[in-house]
């Protein structure tokens, strides 16, 4: 059995989620838009999941729109708000450490005539509050700030940021795909108008996500068709995925995140004992499952592949960009020295990670790094 420490990329399906999904492939496979009995069974299952997800962030059920995942949710938030409001305000603020789908959606809007500002971050990856203060204006339409960073685990203070955004009458969006269920999100306390979440980062199925849209928010649909999801997102609903999403939220309520944080800290402490090791991101206000460490004089991709050969699965950053093998824009924005960027490894724990697996990982990494440095 391999040791899987890449839960920031995706997670193993929870057995309770698998059991909940199964009947919607074989027994209750009707379209939720159908008026007959089987269609209404599917519809009821969707609404139950919608209510569960809404409650988890302090929202109302009708404010949850199901999507195909985090990328669609983020694109919907930025482009939908932009297209619906372009005659009123044309300024969009993001941070320089957003997930690439937010960065690229913002670049797209820039090509459509919007003004886009990417806020700087400090050396720990926290968004500059002072820069946000200076950048907000009467023309600011939307502020999009990631909650828990997917590469280095930095948790931004959305309550503080949201209060400032509200003062300026702008809309506030967060990509909470990595932080969802690990860090409390309350849409009213944080003054959030839009929140992107997905299922496969919380031991749910792939291919399903959601966008919270505060009631009354002007937003243009990306997909046009049969008018499903109250016209916000046309297309036949992914019933098994949605049911699995709802069950994943229920199942994760019983997860021991304190145990996970202790395993994270054990991994950090032991890896920092290696000569030339550097932690990227903060010790405090960090996602409980995230460790990002650079090892001096070690190539990150080579270490990743050697760990994989030893049965230990990690990453060098965002799974969405790993195929391109380019330098991390997050570490660049944090002003991490180049030699540490190319040697960075991300470990992300899941609910099934054990202490024995962490200890085995530590032993293996120490052995591999010693060997790699000797050979070099």
Structure token pair of residue 361: 């990982």
Give the span between the Cα atoms of 292 and 138, in whole angstroms. Answer: 38
Phi, psi of 292 (to 5 degrees): -130, 115
Tell me, letter by letter, the H, E, C secondary structure of the chain.
Answer: CCEECECCCCCCCCHHHHHHHCHHHHCCCCCCCCCCHHHHHHHHHHHHHHHHHHHHCCCCHHHEEEECCHHHHHHHHHHHHHHHHCCCCCEEEEECCCCHHHHHHHHHHHHCCCEEEEECECCCCCECHHHHHHHCCCCEEEEECCCECCCCCEECCHHHHHHHHHHCCCEEEEECCCCECCECCCCCCCCCCEEEEECCCCCCCCCCEEEEECCCCCCCCCCCCCCCHHHCCCCCCCHHHHHHHHHHHHHHCCCCHHHHHHHHHHHHHHHHCCCCEEECCCCCCECCCEEEEEECCCCHHHHHHHHHHCCEECECCCCCCHHHCCCCHHHHHCCCCHHHHCCEEEEECCCCCCHHHHHHHHHHHHHHHHHHHHHC
Catalytic annotation, pick one of 101, 177, 288, 320: 320
6 DSSP β-pair partners: 348
Q: Are 247 and 14 in contact (CB under 8 A)?
A: yes
Nearest to 94 by CA among 85, 349, 108, 54: 108
Give the span between the Cα atoms of 193 and 369, in whole angstroms. Answer: 46
101 is catalytic: no
**C-alpha Rg value of the chain to the nearest Å:** 21
Give the span between the Cα atoms of 24 and 9, in whole angstroms. Answer: 26
Positions marked active-site: 320
């Amino acid at each position: 059995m391999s040791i899987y420490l890449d839960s920031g990329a995706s997670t193993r399906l929870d057995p309770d989620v698998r059991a909940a999904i199964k009947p919607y492939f074989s027994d209750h496979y009707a379209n939720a838009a159908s008026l007959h009995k089987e269609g209404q069974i599917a519809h009821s299952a969707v609404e139950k999941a919608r209510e569960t997800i809404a409650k988890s962030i302090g929202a109302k059920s009708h404010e949850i729109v199901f999507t195909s995942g985090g990328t669609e949710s983020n694109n919907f938030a930025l482009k939908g708000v932009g297209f619906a409001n372009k005659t009123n305000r044309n300024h969009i603020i993001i941070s320089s450490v957003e997930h690439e789908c937010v960065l690229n959606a913002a670049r797209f809007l820039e090509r459509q005539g919007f003004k886009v500002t990417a806020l700087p971050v400090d050396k720990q990856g926290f968004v500059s509050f002072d820069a946000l203060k200076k950048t907000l204006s009467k023309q600011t339409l939307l502020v999009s700030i990631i909650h828990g960073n997917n590469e280095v685990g930095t948790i931004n203070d959305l309550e503080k940021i949201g209060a400032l955004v509200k003062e300026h009458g702008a809309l506030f969006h967060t990509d909470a795909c990595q932080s969802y269920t690990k860090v409390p999100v309350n849409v009213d306390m944080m003054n959030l108008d839009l929140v992107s979440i997905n299922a496969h980062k919380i031991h749910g199925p792939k291919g399903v996500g959601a966008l919270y849209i505060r009631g009354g928010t002007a937003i243009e649909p990306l997909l046009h068709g049969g008018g499903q999801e109250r016209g916000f997102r046309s297309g036949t609903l992914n019933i098994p995925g949605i049911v699995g999403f709802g069950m994943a939220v229920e199942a994760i309520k019983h997860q021991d995140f304190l145990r996970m944080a202790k395993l994270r800290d054990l991994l950090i402490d032991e890896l920092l004992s290696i000569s030339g090791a550097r932690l990227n991101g903060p010790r405090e206000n960090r996602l409980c499952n995230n460790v990002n460490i650079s090892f001096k004089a070690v190539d990150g991709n080579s270490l990743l592949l050697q760990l994989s050969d030893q049965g230990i699965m990690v990453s060098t950053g965002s799974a969405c960009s790993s195929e391109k093998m380019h330098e991390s824009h997050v570490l660049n924005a944090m002003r991490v020295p180049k030699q540490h960027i190319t040697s960075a490894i991300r470990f992300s724990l899941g609910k099934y990670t054990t202490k024995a697996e962490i200890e085995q990982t530590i032993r293996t990494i120490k052995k591999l790094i010693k060997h790699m440095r000797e050979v070099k």
